[in-house]
Structure 1
Amino acid sequence: MTTETADTNPSGPATPHAIVLVHGGFVDGSGWKGVYSLLKDDYSVRIVQNPTLSLEGDVAATKMIVGAQSEPVILVGHSYGGMVVTEAGNDPKVAGLVYIAAFTPDAGESVETLIADPPPGAPVPPILPPQDGFLFLDREKFHASFAGDLGAEEAAFMADSQVPWGVEALSGTISEPAWQNKPSWYLVATEDRMIPPQAQRSMSARAGSTVEEVAGSHSIYLSQPAAVAALIEKAASQVNSAAWSSR
């Protein structure tokens, strides 16, 4: 693993790549708009709209989008989306994985197992008791926990437009983590109050990811799209370079 500060994308061979973006729990794919806008002129960019009812269903939805691409895919996951890309990333079209403040599970792990033993002193996400098999975050605590570096109005809209997250999705386990066979990159959000930064560092180290750290909340993909897009571009470039040097 290497740890770096965010910087500009290094140049590499112009091998085309598709970028597939996978959202996490409580939100939908529209949050990727800023990242999409920064990448769309240079890459084919697609956004998965996961049902977030089960890990199996979300992996299937992601593989459907991956399978439709005509170019090698850089598969990007935020938060719970990291679970999805870890399993879906085994698709042969996937060339590399990018985790944005995301769960990075090993074989047999689930969201439930990863959050069962939080680091000492870590904030507890304000997840409400299940309602008919679905989870929501406490609206009054959403801003501070999920979107601390966004404006109050934007955070309030996110809190009021939450996507119900199926309890079943939290128990879905990984069969074979794609990061064991594919290169990966990880953006640690150092002010995250949903997935503790210590946990992000531990998971990314275990995966052997190339790591960058940026001061930002769990919503760093919204608050700092340039930093997120730069890491995705770096991943695409470094995959290009590795492919080029092996020819």
Structure 2
Amino acid sequence: MKTTTIKEQLNHYFMFAVLFFSFFFSATIATAQNTPAVKNVVLVHGAFADGSGWRGLYDILSKKGYHVTIVQNPLSSLEDDVRATNLALDKQDGPTILVGHSWGGTVITEAGNHPKVVALVYVAALQPDNGENSVQWLQTAPPAPENGVLAPDDKGVVYYDQAKFHAGFAGDLPKDQSDFMFASQGAFYAKGFGTPITQAAWRTKPAYGIVATEDKSISPDIERAMYKRSKTKITEIKGSHVVFISQPKAVAEVIITASKEVAKK
């Protein structure tokens, strides 16, 4: 039987060690390359909705290595929604992209001052300035015929008209899906629309804005005007007011772009 010398044993050990560490470091580098530099994303829904609508976007971003948190706004006031968003931001472990849809844009404009927020993404969203409120901007263009926002009830709560919900809010979704969304809409207190912003975060932090070109709830012209005024980086996507549901991949790309660009700064 052939016996190996100590030198041969050492050579075998050395070769094994080289192969092992080469594999280990290659795997580590690959993992690092697939981990986003800014990996935290907080999603803030708007009026007449709840957090369940973010599911498609959540799935896409999570599979790409992002840590996604979804805020459930109480919709009782701007202050309450900002508080709920800040609670979610407090739990993040580092730099965070803050995303708001519709009324959620007003919320992130105030909540975006949180120190962990490094960029804002507005999805068919309102974007007031200091001292401005949401209703001021909503009145700058005539509402689409499909728009179904009702007057406040005797409790000061605003709902979306069931007869117009599909065409006015989610026209590019299947009817049964929009029916579920109508049934799960939150009770939005109208006073939120009239509450002014005290400190607009987009004045000090990078902002990205998505114009939903088929939007019947917030006129695309209003979205363009707000984003242009604030020098927000604009992306136009063909979709209804809930473009983040109908076009989740396109919306995800804007968020991913934001995370990469702020990481370079």
Q: TM-score, normalised by structure 1?
A: 0.89
Q: Percent identity?
A: 45
Within-5 A mapping of 1:6-85 = 14-41=36-63, 42-85=65-108
Opposite residue 258 of structure 2, the aligned amino acid is A
For structure 1, the residue ranges without an aligned partner over 5 or more in a row are 1-10, 243-247
Q: Residue 129 in 1 paired to residue 151 in 2?
A: yes
Q: Residue 162 in 1 paired to residue 192 in 2?
A: no
Q: Which runs of 4+ in 1 moved over 6 A?
A: none
Mapped to 1, the partners of 2:38 and 2:169 lie a distance apart of 34
Mapped to 2, the partners of 1:209 and 1:95 lie a distance apart of 14
Q: Which has the higher helix share?
A: 2
Q: 1:14 to 1:152 in 2, by over 3 A?
A: closer
Q: Residue 176 in 1 paired to residue 176 in 2?
A: no
Q: SS at 1:40's partner residue?
A: helix
1:139-162 alpha-carbon deviations (Å, 9 max, x no partner):
011000000100111111212222
Structure having the higher Rg: 2
1:43-92 alpha-carbon deviations (Å, 9 max, x no partner):
11100000011001100110111111111010000000000000000111
Q: SS at 2:121's partner residue?
A: strand
1:91-118 alpha-carbon deviations (Å, 9 max, x no partner):
1110000000000111111122111232
For structure 2, the residue ranges without an aligned partner over 5 or more in a row are 1-32
RMSD of the alignment, in Å?
A: 1.7
Mapped to 2, the partners of 1:76 and 1:14 lie a distance apart of 16
Mapped to 1, the partners of 2:171 and 2:57 lie a distance apart of 19
The number of residues matched between the two structures is 231
Q: 1:196 to 1:122 in 2, by over 3 A?
A: same
1:17 to partner: Cα distance: 2.5
Q: 1:222 to 1:240 in 2, by over 3 A?
A: same
Query: What is the match of residue 27 of structure 2?
Result: none
Mapped to 2, the partners of 1:109 and 1:212 lie a distance apart of 24
Opposite residue 48 of structure 1, the aligned amino acid is V
**Aligned counterpart in structure 1 of residue 173 of structure 2, from 131, 141, 150:** 150
Contact 1:12 1:237 in 2 (8 A): no
Mapped to 2, the partners of 1:49 and 1:14 lie a distance apart of 25
1:18-63 alpha-carbon deviations (Å, 9 max, x no partner):
1000000010011001000001131111000000110011001101
